[in-house]
Structure 1
Amino acid sequence: MEKSINAIRFLGMDAINKANSGHPGIVLGAAPVIYSLYTKHMKHTPNESKWFNRDRFILAAGHGTGMLYPTLHLSGFELTIEDLKQFRQLNSLTPGHPEYRHTDGIDATSGPLGQGIPMAIGMAIAEKYLASYFNKDKFKVIDHFTYVICGDGDLQEGITQEGMSLAGHLGLEKLIVIYDSNDIQLDGPLSMANTENVKQKYEAMNWNYIRVEDANNVDELNSAIDLAKTTNKPSIIEVKSIIGYGSSKAGDSATHGAPLGKEETRRMRKELNFDYPEFTVPEDVYHDFYEKVVVRGDKELFEWESLHEAYKEKYPELARKLRKIMESNYNYNYDEILPKYEVGTSEASRVTGGNVISKLSEEIIELIGGSADLTKSTKAKGINGDFSMENPSGRNINFGVREHAMAAIVNGLTLHNLKAFSGGFFVFSDYMKPAVRMAALMQIPSIYVFTHDSVAVGEDGPTHEPVEQLSMFRTTPNLNVYRPGDANETAYSFRSALESETTPSVIVLSRQNMDVKVETTYDEFKKGAYVISDIEDFEGIIIASGSEVGLAIDTQKELLNDGIKVRVVSVPSFDVFNKQSDKYKESILPSSVTKRLAIEMGAPDLWYRYSNNVYGIKTFGVSAPGGQAIEHFGFTVENMVKEFKKIK
């Protein structure tokens, strides 16, 4: 066992030294923790690394890949010694921080401190919901734990406190967080920034607290994890470790984020009785991992597969539904499910969005989510009651005013093959941006619903009126932003988001009513921009999104009274439209027609891609009734006609 733990340490040290980059402190200090998890506790196997009922693991302290990658290699996952030698190098399978979809055995991308624990909370919620839906007497087909290794930095982040508060409230007993507590941070002793009582803090959040005095005492560590598995609360295990254990700088912040060098590593090999050449692993270490990870894991997989086969015989319909989720096979007849809205319908898109979510939820059992204490305003609500200890089958999550954790929890739910959504005011998307970015980076189809999308919010004023947020999200790689212009476009936005496999979606909805002025189809919408109102021999184009599409159509009619013919183009999604062929783009926005006006109640900058003339908002909003605020900023037919006529 000690030799195996040292194999993790020194493979990590060798990789860091070769890269001349990395974090040796956590590798040396916490290697026993990850060894214990992988060889004794985690239900997993490299022979079926995506096994649906495996235990999940998130290295929230993502800088600790120097111990994670060696552990994956030794456990039989698809990482070779050559991969370890390419640690932190271009196009390697061993990037600086764990990357989902990139490296075998990674359940979530981590690195930005604070993101890992809330994602794990999402996974634990998913496990609890799916278990309540699918499990029957003697048939626990969904039954696994979610483990986390975190550090001081994770627990200092606000997002973590939001998430852990909610997890305690929800009683997520299959969530186990192991806290690598070494009393050191990058800048020096932890006491420079933290003097709180960890035990009292998390017990007050309804967590089970366990303390392990010595990370190198694997028996004590195993007993603590075994105890955590028996409680009816989420558990945090504080493991006292020594950063840089075994080095001459042990216990010093200097070991946190800089290589210790080959000479120091050679000295440590002798001191820790692991005197082997660089990147060399004794056969008995491989055998140890094979017996404790592969053999044990394959046995657990075989037992589950036998259980699953019997389950399919006894509960064929439930088994069919479960397989769809396990395989991410989400083929639905949206033409039948989604409501259709006739011309003349007048409804705020937030109201439409709420109705669409409810309608979809009746057919899609994997659709789950909720709002950040704004359900009455956003209308973004799951069905079957509130998810809770008493009602784990509820699909509405009361996130409370915890926007950042909400977004990361949605990512965890999505990583567990559910279709998850969040709801909040668009202006507060600033609180959620890091988690939305993580979804885009992981290529997972999380859905973020935002309402109250412009200065039309009105009386609440500039603190609640988004201006720059659309630009923030539209410039994020691999993120589809939808700002629908009426009820049908709103329904189409949700369909696009649900059909996405590798891209998250931001759906931006209005507080005020919007009219369905013309009939539209999903085939038009799904290309990101289309001609919503046309006329022969047009001499100009008005381009808009969201509530301004209706304004553009009304302006078109007024201009026609003056003998000016214009086409109106709706752009519900920049991101989708920009991916279309040049031929399609030219058919919508002919280059020969240069007289164009783009209008949107937000920052104008990105619209210059489509038009040299843009009418937007370059200041913060105002406190006034919504209609007055709109008029104050000039978004009226009269002013749009005036603006268009200015164009030469």
Structure 2
Amino acid sequence: MATATAPTLDPALEKRCIDTIRTLAMDAVQAAESGHPGTPMALAPLAYLLFTRHLRHDPKDPHWPDRDRFVLSVGHASMLLYSVLHLSGYDLSLEELKQFRQWESRTPGHPEYGYTPGVETTTGPLGQGIGNAVGMAVAEAHLAATFNREGHAVVDHHTYFIAGDGDLMEGVSHEAASFAGHFGLGKLIGFYDDNQITIDGRTDLTYSDDAGKRFEAYGWHVQHVADVNDLAALDAAIAAAKAETARPSLIIVKTIIGFGSPNRADSSKAHGEPLGKEEVVLTKRAYGWPSEQPFFVPDDAREAWLAAGRRQAEAHGAWTARWDAYRAAEPALAAEFERRLAKRLPDGWDAAVPSFTAENGAVASRAASGTVLNALAAKLPELMGGSADLAPSNNTALKGLPAYSAATPGGRNMHFGVREHGMGAIMNGMALHGGIVPYGGTFLVFADYMRPAIRLAALMHQQVLYVFTHDSIGLGEDGPTHQPVEQLTALRCIPNLTVMRPADASETAEAWKVAVAHRDGPVALVLTRQKLGYIDRTKYASAEGVARGAYVLRDADGGAPQVVLMSSGSEVALVLEAARKLEAEGIRARTVSVPSMELFAKQDAEYQRAVLPAGVPRVAIEAAHPMSWYRLVGDRGTVLGIERFGASAPYQRIFEELGLTVDRVVEAARRVVKG
């Protein structure tokens, strides 16, 4: 949808509007005595043109659903974004710009989602922003196909991103760009800041790609603008990109880093350090700037920026009128759209979660997960995802539903290809866009490939669901390259990530319920390849204890426990059997299932003591590195785990050779009881 035509500004005023971005960026970096001034100085004309003439946004309501999305993948250039947000009229004061990079300011060193109005995603780790933008474009295409009706286009917006040389060097950008081209994301428009400078020096030290040809090979529409200061050429290129609806677009823009700086321009010294007070003054004089005072904004430039913000926000008013008509014509669809954007679960959604019995419950947890996922998907249309070319192994396919594609964007089965890192970044963008709860599967060992995206999902508190199967040496013959050892501990170290490793089919069902209802960060479901035994819940505690992270699965007979045996996942069966053997010897053993250390840590102290009573020694076992268990076993406890790589053999033999057996648990329990 078009916005009101931008008035023609006096060229001198237009230059002041652009130079205001440059000087604010220089001053903020200088005041902080750290940061990256050069790229904002170079890209100021592009940011000006995009925010004042093309980006449909409302500074007074940064969250209206049909706004265009903007991603600054070159997150180190954060002052570019902060400057234009402030000037456009967002709730970001000049005082906040003066507090750049300071404690609890709304202008952190790299853009952080949730801190600053108008920041759509956290960027800084290079390449991630491109993947996020791809995910946002996927979400737009899917929601448009799902909710738009003839005469009622309530989802119709573009996603823009700016990337630099570093972004395009990072592998995740290749994965995401290849995906975007293949799936024909025509409302995705990217800008490549081709300044040919890195921290070490000129890009030809390490990089000689023809980016245009690369993106053409991916299936993108590629244009070149020889000088970012040529607003007419830049404007025409953006218009042409918006007119291209079948392919994503990349506009390669030549810039000079540190533009205007007499002694720093076009050098690596303009990249990641302040210009210096004297150089700032010299640069302002080179611009013909009316004041050497830091953070000076000319009155006419401020008014022109604010007027542009109000003009671009007119699109919001037009959308509101369309939305009112849509709600009148399609009340059920409108209500569903509002529910999904508000992240409300429909009434009775959890009734869809199946129960498992002796007849259907003795299965691998990956198989149980697939059953639960399909049952939930029938009730929760916001669930959309797939795997990194492993759907039959991860059990992530939604049966009977179409695949997402350029021809069928309303499909919910996603084929991410062998692109774990790209998958993670794309899912982050889908979640950030809103209206979708994305999930993605791969083998647990390959969580390492997507760890940076997982970390960012946790940092942004986004509901992204990971289905990690083949969770241990239990996958057997594939051998140590595919057998995770350190991954569980590593994932448990990520703040705000909830890791869940269920012990049986019933715990898997409960874990999915927790994941779907969880709103404060991503959830990793860690699942077995090998078949698990059925835990008869008429004899043992209900799996509802999964929601509390740890619970007493079976208590000691005949009095208070003398030892607590704990585990997660497939090894819970070992501690159950060990408890029976110990009790045959007269040692009272409590069995505790610990599907999620993170959820258990959130329980009150009384509950934690009830599950793990003080003074009772503890033994933990897990087919993984033992590090994460030491905080639970305490001084008198012991952990049986793996501190070496696995091996290629039937999994039963590997467990035996590595000492992950019932007898080892029994021996360890005897030792800790004796003290």
Matched, 1:592 2:615: yes
Counterpart of 1:290 (choices 296, 306, 312) is 306
CA deviation vs aligned residue, 1:57-98 (integer Å, no higher than 9, x gap)? 110000011211111000011111110100011111100000
What residue number does 1:263 align with? 278
Query: Partners of 2:354 and 2:431 in 1: how far apart?
Result: 25
**Superposed counterparts of 1:147-162, under 5 Å:** 147-162=160-175
Q: Shift of the alpha carbon at 1:429?
A: 0.7
Query: Partners of 2:132 and 2:268 in 1: how far apart?
Result: 28
Matched, 1:619 2:621: no
Query: Partners of 1:8 and 1:609 in 2: how far apart?
Result: 50
What residue number does 1:637 align with? 662
Q: Shift of the alpha carbon at 1:334?
A: 4.1
Q: Shift of the alpha carbon at 1:328?
A: 2.0
Larger CA deviation: 286-295 vs 568-577 = 286-295
What residue number does 2:391 align with? 375
Q: TM-score, normalised by structure 2?
A: 0.94
**Superposed counterparts of 1:286-325, under 5 Å:** 286-297=302-313, 299-325=314-340
Unaligned runs of 5+ in 2: 1-13
Query: Partners of 1:331 and 1:288 in 2: how far apart?
Result: 45
The residue type paired with residue 563 of structure 2 is: G
Larger CA deviation: 327-336 vs 390-399 = 327-336
What residue number does 2:499 align with? 481
The residue type paired with residue 652 of structure 2 is: G
Query: Partners of 2:508 and 2:171 in 1: how far apart?
Result: 33
Matched, 1:544 2:570: no
What residue number does 2:341 align with? 326
2:55–2:312 contact (8 Å) kept in structure 1: no
CA deviation vs aligned residue, 1:474-496 (integer Å, no higher than 9, x gap)? 11111100001011111111111
Query: Partners of 2:464 and 2:588 in 1: how far apart?
Result: 41
CA deviation vs aligned residue, 1:121-168 (integer Å, no higher than 9, x gap)? 111000000000001111110011110011000000001101101110
What residue number does 2:671 align with? 646
Query: Partners of 2:218 and 2:350 in 1: how far apart?
Result: 45
**Superposed counterparts of 1:212-223, under 5 Å:** 212-223=225-236
The residue type paired with residue 556 of structure 1 is: A
2:349–2:380 contact (8 Å) kept in structure 1: no
Counterpart of 2:447 (choices 422, 426, 429) is 429
Counterpart of 1:445 (choices 452, 457, 463) is 463
What residue number does 1:574 align with? 597
Unaligned runs of 5+ in 1: none
Query: Partners of 1:220 and 1:639 in 2: how far apart?
Result: 73
Q: Shift of the alpha carbon at 1:357?
A: 1.4
Query: Partners of 1:291 and 1:502 in 2: how far apart?
Result: 37
Matched, 1:233 2:247: yes
**Superposed counterparts of 1:37-436, under 5 Å:** 37-231=50-244, 232-248=246-262, 249-276=264-291, 277-297=293-313, 299-343=314-358, 345-382=361-398, 384-417=401-434, 418-436=436-454
CA deviation vs aligned residue, 1:405-451 (integer Å, no higher than 9, x gap)? 10111111111121011100001111111110001111111111100
What residue number does 1:24 align with? 37
Q: Shift of the alpha carbon at 1:331?
A: 4.4
The count of aligned residue pairs is 646
Query: Partners of 2:34 and 2:665 in 1: how far apart?
Result: 56
The residue type paired with residue 351 of structure 2 is: E
Secondary structure at the residue paired with 1:216? coil
CA deviation vs aligned residue, 1:191-227 (integer Å, no higher than 9, x gap)? 1111121221110110110101100011111111110
Query: Partners of 1:262 and 1:155 in 2: how far apart?
Result: 32
CA RMSD after TM alignment: 1.3
Secondary structure at the residue paired with 1:464? coil
Larger CA deviation: 628-637 vs 432-441 = 628-637
Q: Shift of the alpha carbon at 1:337?
A: 1.2
2:349–2:379 contact (8 Å) kept in structure 1: no
Matched, 1:36 2:53: no
CA deviation vs aligned residue, 1:449-489 (integer Å, no higher than 9, x gap)? 10000101100100000010010011111110000101111
Counterpart of 2:629 (choices 607, 612, 617) is 607
Q: Shift of the alpha carbon at 1:247?
A: 0.4
The residue type paired with residue 506 of structure 1 is: A
CA deviation vs aligned residue, 1:235-273 (integer Å, no higher than 9, x gap)? 111000001100012111110011112222222222212
2:101–2:107 contact (8 Å) kept in structure 1: yes
1:518–1:533 contact (8 Å) kept in structure 2: no
The residue type paired with residue 256 of structure 2 is: I
1:444–1:502 contact (8 Å) kept in structure 2: yes
Query: Partners of 1:93 and 1:122 in 2: how far apart?
Result: 25
Q: Shift of the alpha carbon at 1:517?
A: 1.3
Q: Shift of the alpha carbon at 1:362?
A: 1.0
Secondary structure at the residue paired with 1:48? coil
Query: Partners of 1:108 and 1:381 in 2: how far apart?
Result: 28
2:497–2:522 contact (8 Å) kept in structure 1: yes
2:78–2:109 contact (8 Å) kept in structure 1: yes
Q: Shift of the alpha carbon at 1:500?
A: 1.4
Query: Partners of 1:78 and 1:598 in 2: how far apart?
Result: 51
Larger CA deviation: 500-509 vs 95-104 = 500-509
What residue number does 2:5 align with? none
Secondary structure at the residue paired with 2:413? coil
Larger CA deviation: 342-351 vs 362-371 = 342-351
Larger CA deviation: 159-168 vs 621-630 = 621-630
The residue type paired with residue 8 of structure 1 is: I
Secondary structure at the residue paired with 2:514? helix
Larger CA deviation: 287-296 vs 450-459 = 287-296
Query: Partners of 1:199 and 1:390 in 2: how far apart?
Result: 26
